[in-house]
Structure 1
Amino acid sequence: MPVNEEPILIKDSTLIDTLPFFRLKRWQWWLLVALNIVFLLVGQAASVLLGRFYYDKGGNSTWLATLLQTAGFPILFIPYIFIGSSWTPSNSANPSLIRVCLIYFVLGAMTAGDNMLYSVGLLYLSASTYSLICALQLAFNAVFSFFINRQKFTIMILNSVIVLTLSASLLAVNGDSNEPSGVSKGKYLIGFLATLAASVLYSLLLSLMQLSFQKVLKKETFSVVLEMQIYTSLVATCISIIGLFASGDWSTLQGEMNTYSTGKLSYVMTLVWTAICWQICAVGVIGLIFLVSSLFSNVISTLSLAITPIAALIVFHDKMNGVKIIAMLMALWGFASYIYQNYIDDIKTRKTHTNAERTTNDSLC
């Protein structure tokens, strides 16, 4: 919660420097949080559905789908120009440029690989199955946070890990009716494993980014988060472009556009809006990292994965058999356990902050 002129201790035990947004009134702060939640939910759900639409209507290039997930990053320069220029650096020593560039390159390369795995998964899976498997990223994030970020492993988080794992297992054994038409059992398995691996890698990326903020960048201001998103996306985009040309996919794009079942204009608009929606999602992600915490941002991202199957049912008429419904309910149960743990942590953090303020006031008196 924003506190005037005081640093804020967020749920992942990271100290954030006070910024202008934290001086807003309470209702204004909550309005910004709600707005960023909408950005993340709408952007992520729309991106997944548009990606499935691209494949369903004749698209076949996984490298192009990978490229679209980061190619829209120049849009982020708009808020960076205005917000970045108002950032006042702290007195702490700045990390070396070489070290920062190395971090951005490694994280960007991992992002490109992660996006490729997601693209392969979405090629062979329905949007609903894809999203439900991705819900495992919350459980994997809990594990990586425990070992890398030293987060406490509570009963609620353990319950979330177990329930979400069982949810994904149900989908794995129920693959006979989940794949898009024309996809074999072998390709369905490839899609399942690729999406599962992507969820693991994405969770590892979040933990490594948090570690980079804490140990190297030592700030988690909006400017630094934007720089992290922009430069890692730049690296990922360059790698995706190289992969697009090296694989020969670029030579098939003209024919792909000509044979797209809904027309050339629809093909172009699908690509443009997919790139835009991924950036809307990114704005929501970094906005929630700035306003609340990276952990809270991942929780809302997982909530979006639970909502996407409902949108897929409406848009693509995906099959929602009994097993998939049970799996979705279990995913929501796992999400509820995780969000309740965050609620408990939030209460403890506020109580600690209140006690610290009282101690400070008493010492001044």
Structure 2
Amino acid sequence: MAQNQPIFQTKPQEHFVQIPINIERDSTNLINHTNRKPNHWPTIILSTILVLLGQTIAKLLENFYYDQINRSEYDESRQNDGVWTQALLQTVGFPLLLLPFIILTKKNHNQTCDNNCHYKSLTIIYICIGIVMSVQARLSAMGKLEIPFGVFTLIYTTQLLFTPIFARLINKIKFNRWVIISLALAIVTGALTLSSGFGGEPDEAEENYARGSWAALFAGVCFSLLLCNFQNVFDNYIFKRSESTTTTRKTSFSSVFEVIIFSSLVATVISTVGLLIAGEQDDLKREMNEFSKGKGAYVMAMVGQAVSWQVYWVGIVGLVFSVSSVLSNVISVVTWPVVSVLVVIFFNFMDDEFDVFRGVALITAVLSAAAYFFRLHKENRDSDVIAN
């Protein structure tokens, strides 16, 4: 009996040591989903670069478009000309993603699924996401033409408040101090871009603060819902779909293209119908003929926006796929100061210049991204320690 006593003492000790390790592992995960893979740095970095490039080029071309059509000289009756066109440009370029989608799908082999694939549910979700995409694009385009761009930016920054709320309710995301710090710095970054110039900014006679403010607010809400619903699709459908396949195929980046293509298809149809009902097709012909840089420059500006927005969406949804909707929103906002600085360099709206606000915004943007990336590094490091 005396010899057996140490054996009974050893087992409880081993069990006692294993329990806190498992608890610590759960507490360090930003998203507690067993079907999510560890953070993959190459994908995260590539997606971040795509967001930066896509949003920067799209915004510069948008400013170029409004500058060349002399938007500041328009009267109030034509204030909202082209809003459906700008909304359409954000999604109409989705056919460009078909080729990489097909290539990645074939590379990873087609999967045969059972009833758990929820194709009917995905169809309904893609339709809903497409509707929200079109509404968000329309509200955003309209809000910038109704109120000063600085006011629009301040209101639109509220998306950083809505996204964590929706992420907690919809995606069950758990936050820690580094994520909160990153969000706080991102909010400061967005707010400090209030001095940014915009080629389509209305004059005092055209300003409508009530309508423009509500448009900016609901555009931010819609964008937050978009990101959280993208993550909901990945967590509750696509990742589970890969687990329910009869093959061992893992979820690949082709899922990002799948979500964008089907959602953008719906949004494009809605925006096209809105454009035709509003009669903006006639405005497109007039603008092309009156474009100060010529018809070729007009076409390049419009096509460039459509392509750039697709690059942006691949990066945004790619960050949701790799990490979370919260990081995606943070990266989207911290790129605003870069756009603001480039607008100063390439354009001259109201003697716009590089001021202290832009300088501080660049610093807070870097710190915001660094805080979140440090969190991801720590999470991966803790996962490696547990695995070993």
Output the TM-score relative to the length of structure 2.
0.73
Match of 1:62 among 83, 99, 113: 83
- Equivalent position SS for 2:291: coil
Q: CA deviation at 1:231?
A: 0.2
Match of 1:207 among 198, 223, 228: 228
Shift of 1:267: 1.4
CA distance in 2, matches of 1:309, 1:268: 24
**How far apart, in 1, do the equivalents of 2:98 and 2:197 lie?**
45
Which AA in structure 1 matches 2:64? F
Partner of 2:316: 285
Partner of 1:100: 122
Code of the aligned partner of 2:230 = M
Secondary structure of 1:71 counterpart: coil
Match of 2:58 in 1: 47
Q: Residue 187 and residue 332 in structure 1: after superposition, are their counterparts in 2 closer, same or farther (change >3 A)?
A: farther
Instruction: Name the residue aligned to 1:4.
Output: none
Instruction: Pick which of 117-126 and 159-168 moved more.
Output: 159-168
> Which of 134, 137, 145 pairs up with 1:112?
134
Instruction: Report the RMSD for the aligned CA atoms in angstroms.
Output: 3.9
After TM superposition, the structure 1 stretch with the greater mean CA deviation from structure 2, 62-71 or 340-349, is 340-349
For residue 37 of structure 1, the aligned residue among 25, 42, 48 is 48
Residues 132 and 306 in structure 1, CA contact (< 8 A), matched pair in contact too = no
The residue type equivalent to 1:265 in the other structure is G
Residue 218 of structure 2 is matched in structure 1 by: 197
Return 93-102 or 307-316, whichever deviates more.
93-102
Bigger Cα Rg: 2
Give the C-alpha shift of residue 98 in structure 1. 2.0
Mapped contact 2:334–2:366 kept (Cα < 8 A): yes
1:148 aligned residue: 170
Aligned to 1:333: 364
Match of 1:217 in 2: 238
SS in 2 for 1:251: helix
TM-score normalised per structure 1: 0.77
Alpha-carbon separation, structure 2, partners of 1:298 and 1:248: 34
**Distance change in 2, residues 1:164/1:197 (3 Å):** farther
**2:305 pairs with 1:274:** yes
Provide the residue aligned with 1:363 in structure 2: none
CA deviations on 1:266-318 (whole Å, 9 max, x unpaired) are 21111111101111222323444455555433332222123211111112234
- How many Å separate the matches in 1 of 2:328 and 2:185? 20
> Quick one: distance in 1 between partners of 2:30 and 2:233?
17
Q: Which deviates more from structure 2 when the two are superposed, residues 186-195 or residues 224-233?
A: 186-195
The more displaced of 245-254 and 68-77 is 245-254
Distance 1:336 1:260, change over 3 A: same
Q: Which moved more, 1:118-127 or 1:230-239?
A: 118-127
Q: Distance in 1 between matches of 2:215 and 2:92?
A: 22
> Structure 2 regions of 5+ residues with no counterpart?
1-27, 72-80, 241-250
* Contact 1:156–1:337 (8 Å) recurs in 2: no
Query: Partner of 2:64: helix, strand, or coil?
Result: helix
Unaligned runs of 5+ in 1: 1-8, 23-28, 359-365
Cα distance change of structure 1 residues 222 and 164 upon mapping to structure 2, 3 Å threshold: closer
